[in-house]
Structure formats: structure tokens, C-alpha cells
Structure 1
Amino acid sequence: MPRRSKPVCAVLTLAASACFATLAPTHAKAGDIDWLDHWPTHFQTGDGTDIGLVLRYQYDVNDFSHDNNAFTDAHTNRRKYLGFYVKKPGVYDASVYYDFQSKQWQDAFFRLQSQAVLGEDFGALRFGQSKTPVSFEGVTTSTQTTFIELALPSQAVYENRRIGVDWAIQRTHWLASLGYYGENMAGKNHGHTWVARAAWIPIHEADRVLHLGVAASEERPYGLVNALGVQQPATASFKTPPEAGLTTVTLVSSGTLTHVNHIDRLGVEGLWIDGPWSVQSEYLQAKTTFDVPKPNYDLSGYYVFGSWVVTGESRQYHDGNVSNVIPTHPWGAVEFAVRYSDLDLNDGRVQGGKEHDWTAGANWYLGTHLRLQANYIRAFGNRKGLVIDPHIVELRAEIFI
């Protein structure tokens, strides 16, 4: 008998719907609804303010093999985002949306452009919950990433969303930002973080980009107060599943680090796009220091991937980040990609393990709101002599606005 069931019905159903949409007529008159690209989810007021819906739905299938029964196959919703945005170009924008799958608030912020107040562009100020910028992959929207899940070091080091304030300025060939953050809207991750990011973009054309950047942060976590009113020491933990989002099983983990004083994170990022070809890479590290006499704990990792859009289109780049391929054919665009990622959580007495993964991926972009993805992952994990090298097949169907 098979060890686990492997249902893909929901993915195939959504895929069939997407294919139907692709085959539907797309020669509507101006102003009509184009079911591939122009959905009736927003409207503009007389002064140019744009008000619209935020919708992101993803259904995933994770299938594991050669894993010593460490993992369980899974098929379920990955994300169910719903919210809205309001934007007046050159003046302000605001977004708020909630993930009904994880039951957590995601982005919830208001951003004001300085030019609207001062008459000159000195950047923008943002208030609320947003992503912290150490990890190029991490700050890329989940519906815009080339692979289904983030690379190993991105998942281990990325600090995710926090409530705070940040300033950002962008020019054609450079960008910079500075932010200060506290806990998140779930009331977790107590403490505060300073973050800075800068990038140089010497080539910035429609289908040719060279982006070189660096980001750094210092997090000072706070310990919780227990029922007796005693302050507990601050803790931290670094771990990641093998680039599979429907499992909590990890091959590498630092365990819980106690008496944490602060965590310094560093990311060095690079992106090259030349028509249908692109290469993206990042090096990430985190250094944890303690308020008791013991050595620092250092971890590091990197990834590099290349992609080829077979149908000739290009990955998009704007505002210091990447976004999806925009198809030029009525049946969509197809992209192939290969990624290598490496993470080392061993340092001194903390033997968190080492892991490296190879991932092969394929993406089918159906207009600008539908995408089908397939990834094959070959993971290699070794923690304290326990070696598990699973094979993972992942499928995703997603709708996004």
C-alpha cells in the first residue's frame, strides 16, 4: 500500500480554470473586462486616488520521499490573503491585509511621499507593519518569487514583518532606506530592531538590470515577564524546513538560544537581468551575542539561482525589487529556473547542522493574475551525524491581485 496519499485535485482544478481563462477570448474592447489581465477589482476617484482589493490565494502540494519517514505529505491552502489598498500617486499609499490561513495580519501601513508635503522628493516615510529588509528574497512578495519557497538562508535569517517606521528614497541608479521596528501585530517578537539598506543599480533598463545591494540590522530582543513578575532572559532560534512550506519538520536547527543580548544580521544581494536570462544571489549571516559569558553564535548561508524565460519575456524590476514575468502571448509565459542554497548552523558548542538544497523549478504565467508552479527539491541535511536527504515535489496554483 502507498505510504501516503498524494492528492493534487485542487491544484488541477485551479489549473484547469486558469487554462480555460487562457483560451477565452481576449480581444475585448477598451474598457471591457479582460479576464487574463484587467480584473474589476479597483476604481479611481476623480482626483486620481486608486482604491482596490488585495487578494492572494495559493494552494500547495508537498510530496516527500527518501526521507526515512521524517516528513508527511501535505496538500492544503498555503496563503489566503484578503485586504485593500488606497493610493494617490505622488502623495500617499496605504495597504492592509490579513492571511486567513495563518490567521495573522500581514502588511498594514501608511506611507507618505515627501514631495507632496515639501515640494521636493526627499523620499517616503512609512508607518505600520511591513517587512524588514535584510533578505532580498524575503522582501519579495510571495506571489512574485521565482521558487515556491524561500532559500534556506533566507528562511533562517529573515526577520519577517514588524511594526515600525522607515524612510526610503529611490533614484534611477541607487536607493537607500533606514528603519526602526518593534514587535509584530500578533504581539510576538518582543524587542526592537534598527535596519538599513542601500543598493547601486548601474544598469537600469526595461529588460536589462544590474542590482548590487547590502542590508544590515541589529535586533535587541526582550525576555518575557513570567506569572511571578520575574523578567525572563531573551531567547532566539534559527531553523528552517527544507524549502517546503507545508511542514514544520526541520533538518537543521540551532535550538533555543538563551540570554540573548542582540542579533546582528547582514545581507549582500545581487541581481542581473538580461532579457529572458537572469541570475540572483545573496549571502546572509547572523551573529548572536549574549549577556552572560559565552562565545558568540555565528551562522551563515547563501543561495544562487539562474532563470530562463523560454517564451522570451523578462523578469520585471522596480522599486529595488523583482516581480513576475508579464506574458506577451495569449497562452502565457513559461520560465525555468535552478537554485542552489547552503546553510551552516554549526558554530562552537551549538551544532545546529548543515544543509544544502538543489531546486529545479518551472513557472507558467497565465496573464497577470494566475500562475502555476512546480519545484523538485533535492535536500541534503546533516545534524549531529543524523543524515536525511529527502526528495521533495512541490506544486502550487495561485491567484493574486
Structure 2
Amino acid sequence: MASFPWVLAAVLAAGPANADTNDWLTNWPTHETFGDGTDLGLVLRYQYDANEFSNGDGKFADAHTNRRKYLGFYVKKPGVYDATVYYDFQSKAWQDVFFRLQSAALLDQDFGALRFGQSKTPVSFEGVTTSTQTTFIELALPSQAIYENRRIGVDWAIQRTHWLASLGYYGENLAGKNPGHTLAARAAWVPLHQPGEVLHLGVAASQERPYGIVDALGVQQPATASFKTPPEAGLTTVALVSSGTFTGVDHINRLGLEEVWIEGPWSVQSEYLQAQTSFKNGRPDYDIDGFYAFGSWVLTGESRQYHDGNVSNVIPEHSWGALEFALRYSELDLNDGRVLGGREHDWTAGANWYVGTHLRLQANYIRAFSDRRGLVINPHVVELRAEIFI
């Protein structure tokens, strides 16, 4: 049964014997455009993963199952508005649920766009990249540990050919978790911006002020925070490094520095992330940081795509698809003062086969190295993914 999604993907890739394969794989009837330009479409993302572990000191169990099952819809009128709503039936959680209005539709001039609803907070370039568009199967160590994820709020964003900026204010998420508020901003300079040639240099920062919750007895509990991550594997909850849970948190400052360079089939992406947690009881701040850097090469000659201040998948120019190889190094340090959360660094080798514009097969090999309070665990992880996305 574990091989079923891979067989299915191969059958879909083959397509009808008498059809133009490239056209069949690319032009799916997933949306309808009306006479006034309004576009109504389907959002579908399905991912099936397999994780196999070795040398993990018995802490990990092999697994194969659904990773994501997104279903939703969007409606947009270019230059006027767009709205998106979709739900993950795997995690049983709402994902992006928002309405965005373009200022040019009201003011005859483009002063940016206002977005209302649940969306991703901006600190972590890799974190805000759509899961079906990331080069590797899972986010790098610092992205998983520091990224704040989705929140309900309002943000403003403006984009020009060679720069972009955004500012947002957020509260809790639609599940009613993570109560508090966050103020966040992002800016980037894009001196090179044309197909197959991009240089993006950006910075993002935020301050989160978490609220405590009221328990079942009506007692106010202090705000908490925790930083941890599995070894870049999505089908395990085992974290080799972890700060533990802090109480009495006042605020968390996050900072991200981001870089993307694309030159034809070659690309380099890197990011530095930092989080500083301050407390109400006079306890010393807890500072953590990490970074990742990776390079990729598209063997078949295509380029990674870049638009709207972020990256997206290779678009194949061959009927049988495009093939990409990538290598990533990531590092995370959760030790600070008396808090010995541990240090970890991972090497990840990846291969992606893009079959048309809606299908992708991925394979990753991760070599992780961790040390927490003298306990050294260095697992090997093999990950496979088959995905369909619209």
C-alpha cells in the first residue's frame, strides 16, 4: 500500500497514450474565468510521505502516511481583489483564509494591498514559501524552530520590480491557539529581477507578545513559549533539541535575514534566523539562532521561478518533466546560559522530479548531528514524497 501513491503518480505522468503529454499535465480544468476578468478556482494539495530512520538510538519509528490534504477555493479579479480559503483535512486545521483588496481599485494609484484574515507571518522566507514550492521536503532546522506560522490579522504589502515591503498586525489563529498579538514587518531589495536571473536580499522582524490562557477553573495562567524541532522529518514528533517550556514570557523578538540568487539552472538560497525571549520575572533573556544555506541545479536547464517576493517550482520545458538536485546545510543552537536546549546541524541531499506543473516526486536524504546535554544522537533519515497540487 505504501507504494500506491508512487504508482498513481507514474500513471498520471504517463497520461493518455494518444494525448499531448505536456499539455495534459499542465492545462488542468481547475478554474473558470468570467467575462469581467473574475477568476474562480480550486485549491488542492495532496502529499503522501514515507520516512525511514536509522542510527537514531531507537527514538524514531519508520512511517508512511498522508502529510497534507488541502482542499479549498479562491476567487480573484486582477488589480481589484482576491480571496482564498482552504482547509487541511490531515491536520484538521484551517490554513490561509483571507480577503485582499488592491488600493489601485479604489484610488487610481497603487499604494499596495490590504489583507484581512488568517495568513502566514513574515519572519522566515522558507516558512512563508508554499509547502508545494519548497525545494526540500521539510523546512530547515531554524525555520521549524523559530517560524511563528499563521495568525489572524491585517497586513499591508507593496511590491515594485526592484523592492517590496510589508507591515502586519496579528492575533491568535483560527483554532483559538497562540493567544497574544504580533507586530511584524518585512522589506527586500531585488536588484536583479528577470526570468532566470534574480537576486533577492531581504530582512524581516517581529515582536510577539503572548497572552496567558484562562484554565478550566477560571485561573489566569502565565504566557508560555517553547522552541524545538525534529530532524527535518515531518512524520515524527521526536525533537533532538528542545528549549523546554518557558513560563512568564513577556515578549519574543524575531529577526530574519534572507537571500536568493538564481542564474539560469543554478540557484543559492540562505537565511539567518534569531529569536530573543524576554520574561516578566526578571529572568535573563533567552537568545537562540540558526541558519541554513542550499544550492540547487536543474539538470534539464530550466530555472526556479520567482514572483511576488518569493520562489516557486521549476516549470518543465520537456514533455517528461524537469529534474533538480539540491544540497542544504542547516544549523540551530538552542543553548543559552543555563538553558541547555542543545545544538544540531543537518546535511540534506535532495532530488525533485517535476512532472508537468501539478505533479512532483521528491527524495531527500538527511544526515543529522545533535548534542543535547552530552547526549549525542546522529540519525540518518530517508524521505520520499509524492504530491499533486493545484
2:7 corresponds, among 13, 21, 46, to 13
In 2, Cα distance between equivalents of 1:68 and 1:173: 49
Paired position in structure 2 for 1:177? 166
Structure 1 runs, 4 residues or longer, greater than 4 Å off: none
Please say if residues 141 and 229 of structure 2, whose CA atoms lie closer than 8 Å, have aligned partners that are also in contact.
yes
Residue in structure 1 matching 2:71, options 66, 78, 82: 82
- Gap change, CA 1:92 and 1:311, over 3 Å in 2: same
Which residue of structure 2 aligns with residue 288 of structure 1?
Answer: 277
- The one-letter code of the counterpart of 1:167 is W
Alignment match, 1:26: 20
**8 Å CA contact retained: 1:153, 1:301:** yes
Q: Which residue of 2 aligns with 1:3?
A: none
> 1:45 offset after TM fit, Å?
1.1
Counterpart Cα distance in 1 of 2:6 and 2:130: 24
Q: TM-score, normalised by structure 2?
A: 0.98
Query: Residues 172-211 of structure 1, C-alpha deviation per residue, up to 9 Å, x if partnerless?
Result: 0000000000000000000000000000000001110000
Which residue of the partner structure matches residue 144 of structure 2? 155
CA distance in 2, matches of 1:10, 1:388: 33
CA contact (8 A) 2:15 2:21 kept: no
- Cα distance change, pair 384–24 in 1 and its aligned pair in 2 (3 A): farther
Q: CA deviation at 1:228?
A: 3.1
Deviations 1:312-354, CA, capped at 9 Å, x for gaps: 0000000000000000000000000000000000001111000
Report the Cα distance in structure 2 between the residues aligned to 1:283 and 1:136, rounded to whole angstroms.
10
Does the 8 A contact of 2:13 with 2:25 survive in 1?
Answer: no
Q: Counterparts of 1:23 and 1:318 in 2: how far apart (Å)?
A: 35
Match of 1:31 in 2: none
Deviation at 1:225, TM superposition (A): 1.2
The aligned residue for residue 232 of structure 2 is 243
CA distance in 2, matches of 1:38, 1:248: 38
Q: Any idea what SS the aligned residue of 2:26 has?
A: coil
The answer (yes or no) to whether the contact 1:225–1:231 under 8 Å persists in 2 is yes
CA distance in 1, matches of 2:67, 2:221: 34
CA distance in 2 between counterparts of 1:251 and 1:109 reads 35
How many residues in Structure 1 have an aligned counterpart in Structure 2? Answer: 390
Structure 2 residue 188 is the aligned partner of structure 1 residue 199: yes
Aligned to 1:230: 219
Letter in 2 for 1:82: L
CA distance in 2, matches of 1:24, 1:217: 54
Match of 1:277 in 2: 266
Q: Does 1:256 align with 2:256?
A: no
Alignment-mate amino acid for residue 361 of structure 2: L
Residue 42 of structure 1, aligned match among 9, 31, 47: 31
SS in 2 for 1:213: strand
CA RMSD of aligned residues (A): 1.2
Change (3 A) 1:23 1:164: farther
Residue 23 to residue 300, structure 1, CA distance change in 2 (3 Å):
farther
Deviations 1:220-255 (A, max 9, x none): 000011233221110000000000000000000000
- Whether 2:293 is the aligned partner of 1:304: answer yes
Cα displacement (A) at 1:27: 6.9
Q: What is the percentage of aligned positions where both structures have the same residue?
A: 77
Matched-pair contact (CA < 8 Å) for 1:165–1:181: yes
Q: C-alpha deviations, 1:132-178, integer Å up to 9, x for none?
A: 01000000000000000000000000000000000000000000000
**SS class of match (2:15):** helix
Letter in 1 for 2:264: G
Q: Distance in 1 between matches of 2:387 and 2:216?
A: 44
SS at match of 2:328: strand
Name the aligned partner's letter for residue 10 of structure 2.
A
Quote the residue 1:164 is aligned against: 153
Q: Give the aligned partner of residue 187 of structure 1.
A: 176
